[in-house]
Amino acid sequence: MKRIFLIVLDSFGIGAMPDSASFGDVGVNTLAACATSQYLNIPNMIAAGLGNIDGVSCLPKVAQKGAVARLTEASMGKDTTIGHWEIAGLVSADPLPTYPEGFPDEILEPFKAATGRGVLANAPWSGTAVLDAFGEEHMKTGDLIVYTSADSVFQIAAHEEIVPPEQLYEYCRIARKLLVGKHGVGRVIARPFVGDKAGAFKRTSNRHDFSLEPPKATLLDAVKAKGLASIGVGKIYDIFAGIGTTEHVYNTSNANGMEHTVNFAKQDFEGLCFVNLVDFDMQFGHRRDIDGYAKALTQFDAWLGDFLPALGEEDVVMITADHGCDPAYTATTDHTREYVPLLILGKQVKNVNLGTRQSFADIAATVAEMLQVSFDTPGKSFAKEVLL
């Protein structure tokens, strides 16, 4: 194959994994939740065989038009960083650190000394609720809103008129240097916001992630080393700490990310275009907005219907996810431990059901084989099973 478009619908899980309860997630299913919405209309993904995947009972079975699989997360987590790392070929046996009681003084004291600012919140919070609780105090004092979630993240929220985004990014770089070793969280996240009072605060699109560097070479490194294009769209550059991409572009929304993907498809490149569409997770999953999630899936599906016919004979599209974030699960507002779907489409792709695979890393092994790239990964390639 000449080009692989690997598209991550961030948080689009399809049902609880056997160990989900140990992660605090009981009976979770992101897809099934969205299927209850009157706004879900995804004929193209259904035609591709989404309803044929193991365990999916909320969609019709069809004579599918591509290859499908259910993917098991082998890594011990349910966060964006290790989910994407596993898609790119790395399995994380140990979970990244989390802070259900907030961050200890051994982190916060040097952070406050280096930034010259105080800290507010310092606990797990919903990203919107924390602004209402501490936004006005932040605007009065200039203290930074530092919070976490059930995931391995150190998040810093600041009003754009109090702390301009570039300054906030510098504070995140300071935190990133401090958060190593046993405190090596997956991501430090800048959360700029605007507004003038509680209830009116709103996060902006100037979010920026500062990720832990992958512990080993990933698929992106292997593709780049072969001299092929390794393009990152959306959060990909940040998730891999800027390592392994030959070109990247950020998204302001799902629609913007899909537009970027179309623009890259119009270019004559050989290699990988790795896309993350984060609105599913950030705007709808965490906010437990079932209808919003369903509308976002409907929007993506309509775009997919236009995108596929424009692709060439040697192009392959893979659609998957990095974890779940069930919008109907109200026990928490965090990610959920779920299987994820894999849809494989293209003019050279067979109509085959690959069943349940044991790792997201099978994607990396398959992409490497399709692009004739040498890459060592625990994943198992299914290239020969899906290509004509």
Task: Write out the E strands in the chain.
Answer: 3-9, 67-71, 119-124, 144-148, 153-159, 187-194, 202-203, 208-211, 229-233, 247-249, 271-277, 315-320, 340-345, 353-357
For 96-120, what is each residue's pLDDT tens digit? 999 999 999 999 999 999 999 999 9
Rounded distance between C-alpha atoms, residue 356 and residue 363, angstroms: 13
Residue 23, pLDDT above cutoff 90: yes
| Averaged pLDDT for residues 228-247 | 96
pLDDT grade for 239, boundaries at 50, 70 and 90: very high
Torsion sign (Cα): 176, 180, 183, 185: positive
Q: What is the pLDDT of residue 324?
A: 98
340 three-state secondary structure: strand
Distance (Å) of CA 41 to CA 260, 299, 343, 348: 23, 9, 17, 27
DSSP element (H, E) containing 220? helix 219-225
Note the pLDDT of residue 315: 98
Please give the pLDDT value at position 219. Answer: 98
- 161 backbone dihedrals φ, ψ, rounded to 5°: -85, -20
Could you give the domains of the chain? 3-92+213-386 (3.40.720.10), 105-211 (3.30.70.1250)
Return the structure tokens found at 374: 């040498």
DSSP 213: P
Distance separating alpha carbons of residues 101 and 98, to the nearest angstrom: 9
Q: Say what the pLDDT of residue 128 is.
A: 87
pLDDT above 90: residue 150: no
**Which two structure tokens, joined as six digits, stand for 205?**
């699109």
Alpha carbon separation from 204 to 130, 147, 260 (Å, rounded)? 15, 17, 20
Q: Where are the beta strands (DSSP E) in 234-364?
A: 247-249, 271-277, 315-320, 340-345, 353-357
Average pLDDT, integer, range 193-214? 94
Residue 151 has pLDDT above 90, yes or no: no
Mean pLDDT, to the nearest integer, of 246-251? 97
Contact 90, 361 (CB under 8 A): yes
pTM to 2 decimal places: 0.90
- Measured CA to CA, the distance from residue 213 to residue 32 in angstroms comes to 34
Spatial separation of the C-alpha atoms in residues 235 and 289, rounded to whole Å: 22
